[in-house]
């Protein structure tokens, strides 16, 4: 339909110069005393107005239709790309700057739309206009048409070289945009740190360097584009000069009418813009091609699970079996067998080495150890954020590597060390892991997390906006919101990764009491550097150097006078010195 509209529009547009020919010849005939000159002139002018109106109408329809389709394609690609990106593994986000991801979702997609919309529209209109205009020009004078087409081989040759250079240059430009966006995103996200260390001048200099690189790359594009357009303009001007000279000679000799000569030059003028626009179209094509190549790099990356692998709302929250079935031996809820892991994936520099332990239902397990011992890595592996080798992690007797990732992750509620909040209301952040915003569940969860009193003091209570990354909240409040988020869900296993480090000892004890008092059938694993809370755990795992070096109750581990006893003694001594001072 778009092509048909462009074709009809171009036909009516190209009939206008033909009517100009008829009008000029009619005027010439009338001045020469020929009959019916005035009537022919009025007829030609009337048809010119009609064809102009029809040309505008069909041009509007075709442009509107094609640009709407281009926008729909852009929206679909954007949705597909976002859906793909959020399903990429965690390793991808470790290796890819946020600015690069955002650049591909914004600037690169805009470049793709510019080609699919205005670019394709101009390309199709140019091809149709060229073919039809040449047909009309051949009807007027084949010799002049041949002369005017002499520039075509030069245009094709220049376009090929220009296209190759532009593809390379635009790829560099898109990469520099991504780098510049990355620097901008890092500074906006880390503005507190920049101000705290008074590094505004240094970061301004760094960002200026990125802007300078982007400027230089765009300048190279502009120079190449200017050279191409200048060369095309020279060729077109040479062709027009030849046509004017030879056409004037033909009119003087009587082999071409004055109206035909005027119409021929009108067609030639109509072809001037499409000829020049080809450089712009090639520019858009190369930009879009480079941008689509960068987008396809993301789309070719394997995802963790397909889009249709996400369980729908209302399905089971976890692959946990019924432990009350008669005649069965209940397996451990969670079992880890000789687990080894390295972030490089090559077995070198292992963060975990031969970790083995089991957890029973409704058991409270504490993890403790020196910094860098592997506690956070272990929690990430249990929650399925990184792939684990087959036969190393079992959930309710089932190999975790065989459980679909959405089901596996719904079995765990994770509270990370670094709390992350969305720029939304308190209620939306607390209910983030739930199917809907449940104010009653959020109230109970915030009460257990000892955050309900803070909510009651806020201006809009649960509807209060917390700002980007929860900037309006303190560190301890952020941690309590994330704890409430975990408690609001129905995951059977709760993983607390040093999630109470920003609250005072008394608040930590109250939160821990609330979790234990309301845990129901929930199993709890938590790591902490405050060892006083570990005395209430059923068991304690001491993780050091990527291995479990000790395991037992608080009293047993103190009696062994090993690593746990040493860590505990140091902390108690530091606490006594702090209190005495």
Question: Quick check: helix, strand or coil at residue 316?
Answer: coil
**DSSP 8-state assignment for residue 465:** B
Backbone phi and psi for residue 381, each to the nearest 5 degrees, phi listed first: -70, -40
CB atoms within 10 A of CB 98: 13
Are 429 and 419 contacting, i.e. CB atoms less than 8 angstroms apart? no
Strand runs (DSSP E) across 458-554, as ranges?
A: 493-497, 523-527, 539-544, 547-552
The architecture that CATH gives domain 418-490 is 3-Layer(aba) Sandwich (3.40)
Strand, helix or coil for residue 129 = helix
Mean pLDDT of the chain: 77
Q: What is the pLDDT of residues 100-136, one digit of tens each?
A: 788 788 878 888 888 888 888 877 777 787 788 888 8
Confidence (pLDDT) at 479: 82
* Residues 343-371: tens digit of each pLDDT: 776 556 678 888 888 888 888 888 888 77
CB atoms within 10 A of CB 560: 13
- CATH class of segment(s) 330-411+494-503+517-581: alpha beta
pLDDT digits (tens, 9 = 90+) for 297-349: 888 888 776 655 444 333 344 455 554 444 444 567 888 888 888 877 655 66
What would the pLDDT profile of 139-189 be if each residue is shown by its tens digit? 888 888 887 777 767 776 776 677 677 777 877 887 788 788 778 877 777
CA distances from 249 to 137, 142, 244, 255 (A): 17, 15, 9, 9
For residue 546, the SS3 value is: coil
Contact between 489 and 413 (Cβ < 8 Å):
yes
pLDDT for the residue numbered 312: 38
Rounded mean pLDDT of 510-529?
74
Beta strand ranges found along 264-395 (DSSP E): 334-341, 352-359, 364-368, 393-395
pLDDT band at 205 (very low <50, low <70, confident <90, very high): confident
Distance CA 426, CA 457 (A): 12
Are 330-411+494-503+517-581 and 418-490 in the same CATH fold?
yes
- Residue 395 pLDDT > 70, yes or no? yes
For the cut 60, the answer to whether the pLDDT of residue 390 exceeds it is yes
Q: What is the DSSP letter of 29?
A: H
Residue 363 neighbours by CB under 8 Å, 6+ apart: 333, 523, 524, 538, 539
Count the Cβ atoms, other than its own, within 10 Å of residue 187. Answer: 17
What residue segments make up the domains of the chain, in order of their start?
2-299, 330-411+494-503+517-581, 418-490
Alpha carbons 515 and 531: distance in angstroms, whole number: 17
Tokens 């296993």, residue?
Answer: 493
Q: Which residues contact 381 (CB under 8 A, 6 or more apart)?
A: 339, 341, 352, 388, 393
Do the bridges between strand 398-399 and strand 539-544 make them parallel or antiparallel, or are there none, so unpaired? Answer: unpaired
Task: Tell me which of 3.90.1150.10, 1.10.3860.10, 1.10.3720.10, 1.20.1560.10 is the CATH number of domain 2-299.
Answer: 1.20.1560.10
Query: Token pair for residue 421?
Result: 């909040």
Structure-token pair, residue 51: 């064809």
Rounded alpha-carbon distances, angstroms, from residue 463 to 424, 431, 437, 451, 485: 9, 12, 11, 14, 15
């Amino acid at each position: 339909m778009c092509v048909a509209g462009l074709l009809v529009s171009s036909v009516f547009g190209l009939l206008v110069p033909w009517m100009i020919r008829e009008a000029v010849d009619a005027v010439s005939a009338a001045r020469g005393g020929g009959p019916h000159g005035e009537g022919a002139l009025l007829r030609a002018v009337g048809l010119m107005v009609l064809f102009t109106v029809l040309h505008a109408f069909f041009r509007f329809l075709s442009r509107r239709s094609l640009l709407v389709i281009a926008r729909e394609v852009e929206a679909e690609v954007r949705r597909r790309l976002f859906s793909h990106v959020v399903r990429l593994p965690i390793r991808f986000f470790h290796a890819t700057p946020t600015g690069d991801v955002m650049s591909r979702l914004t600037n690169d997609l805009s470049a793709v739309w510019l080609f699919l919309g205005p670019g394709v529209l101009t390309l199709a209109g140019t091809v149709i206009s060229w073919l039809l205009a040449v047909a009309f020009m051949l009807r007027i004078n084949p010799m002049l048409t041949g002369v005017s087409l002499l520039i075509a081989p030069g245009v094709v040759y220049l376009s090929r070289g220009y296209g190759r250079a532009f593809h390379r240059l635009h790829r560099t430009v898109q990469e520099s945009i991504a780098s510049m966006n990355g620097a901008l995103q890092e500074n906006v996200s880390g503005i507190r740190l920049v101000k705290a260390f008074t590094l505004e001048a240094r970061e301004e200099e760094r960002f200026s360097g990125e802007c300078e690189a982007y400027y230089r790359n765009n300048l190279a594009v502009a120079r190449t584009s200017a050279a191409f357009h200048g060369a095309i303009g020279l060729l077109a001007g040479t062709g027009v000069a030849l046509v004017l000279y030879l056409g004037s000679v033909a009119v003087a000799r009587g082999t071409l009418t004055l109206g035909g000569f005027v119409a021929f030059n009108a067609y030639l003028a109509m072809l001037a813009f499409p000829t020049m626009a080809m450089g712009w179209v090639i520019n858009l094509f190369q930009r879009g091609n480079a941008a689509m190549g960068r987008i396809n790099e993301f789309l070719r990356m394997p995802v963790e699970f397909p889009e249709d692998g996400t369980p729908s709302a209302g399905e089971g929250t976890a692959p946990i079996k019924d432990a009350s079935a008669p005649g069965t031996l209940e397996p451990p809820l969670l079992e880890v067998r000789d687990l080894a892991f390295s972030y490089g994936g090559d077995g070198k520099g292992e963060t975990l080495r031969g970790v083995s332990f089991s957890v029973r239902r409704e058991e409270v397990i504490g993890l403790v150890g020196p910094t860098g011992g592997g506690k956070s890595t272990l929690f990430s592996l249990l929650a399925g954020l990184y792939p684990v080798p087959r036969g190393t992690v079992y959930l309710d007797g089932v190999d975790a590597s065989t459980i679909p990732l959405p089901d596996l992750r719904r079995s765990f509620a994770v509270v990370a060390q670094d709390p992350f909040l969305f720029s939304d209301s308190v209620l939306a952040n607390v209910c983030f892991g739930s199917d809907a915003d449940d104010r009653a569940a959020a109230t109970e969860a915030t009460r257990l997390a000892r955050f309900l009193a803070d909510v009651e003091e806020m201006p809009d209570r649960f509807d209060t906006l917390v700002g980007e990354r929860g900037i309006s909240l303190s560190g301890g409040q952020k941690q309590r919101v994330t704890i409430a988020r975990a408690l609001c869900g129905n995951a059977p296993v709760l993983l607390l990764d040093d999630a109470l480090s920003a609250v005072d000892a008394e608040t930590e004890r109250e939160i821990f009491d609330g979790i234990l008092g309301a845990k129901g059938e929930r199993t709890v694993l938590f790591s902490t550097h405050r060892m006083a809370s570990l005395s209430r755990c059923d068991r304690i795992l001491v993780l050091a150097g990527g291995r479990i070096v000790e395991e037992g109750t608080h009293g047993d581990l103190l009696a062994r006078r090993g690593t746990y006893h040493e860590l505990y003694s140091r902390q108690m001594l530091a606490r006594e010195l702090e209190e005495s001072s």
